[in-house]
Structure 1
Amino acid sequence: MSWFYLAVAIVAEIIATSLLKSSEGFTRLWPSLVVIVGYGCAFFFLSLTLRTIPVGAAYAIWSGAGIVLVTLIAWLIFGQTISLPDVIGIGLIIAGVIVLRLFSETGEY
């Protein structure tokens, strides 16, 4: 269940972060409510994840996936441009999460 909780935390964080721009500094009600609920869910499910997955590994996967997916959403929905250094950086984040997951000795999870 820990991996499911982590996936829910990632999705909730991505939704909240993606709508943060639409909240216009928390001046628009519905996007602001989604942001608040989204981050609340993200941290709640991340806390459930930490029952069995080490905090360093869970946070690396959570934040890495969030960075990559929010960047893709910003590109697809908000028209943000992505440069070659951005692509290289995102690739390094993905590689780091893969290395952490495959070769980490921080504990079985």
Structure 2
Amino acid sequence: MSPLVIAYGALALGIVSEFIGSSLLPRTEQFTKLGPTAAAIASFIVALFFLSHALKVVPLGVTYAIWCGVGMVLTAVVSVVFYRSPLDPAAVLGILFIICGVVVINVFSTSVPH
């Protein structure tokens, strides 16, 4: 299997792990609930593990931009769907800009190995 495919797979797993940890943060109730706190911390540790593997192939700036962008969008969706946090038009526009930025990096940047 291609090292690039493995790197992007690791990045995807890292993003999912970070997204799970971020989504669990409200349930920790400021780290006073042991179960959700332990799960959130474990998710962040797993996320960093996979991020470090993605960095073997994909440059840090690109990896982190994708990581943050996709993680923010997923977390915003969970915030709206599960925590009933509304998004105003400016927030939606900002999220669309984030998505566009991730697409531009992946499609047009020469920093990303293809």
- Please classify the TM superposition score into its range, dividing by the shorter chain length: over 0.9
The answer for the alignment partner of 2:56 in structure 1 is 51
The equivalent residue for 2:3 is none
Whole-Å separation in 2 of the counterparts to 1:69 and 1:43 = 17
Alignment of 1:1-109 (within 5 A): 1-109=6-114
2:105 and 2:112 in contact (8 A); partners too: no
Distance in 2, matches of 1:53 and 1:22, equals: 33
Q: Which amino acid aligns with 1:101?
A: N
Residue segments in structure 1 that go unaligned for 5+ positions in a row:
none
The letter for the 1-side match of 2:63 is: A
Q: TM-score scaled to structure 2, two decimals?
A: 0.93
Q: Which whole-Å deviations, capped at 9, do the CAs of 1:29-68 have from their partners, x for residues lacking one? A: 1000011100000011000000001111111111000000
- Pairwise CA RMSD: 0.8
Runs of 4+ in 1 over 4 A off after TM superposition: none
In the alignment of these two chains, the number of paired residues is 109
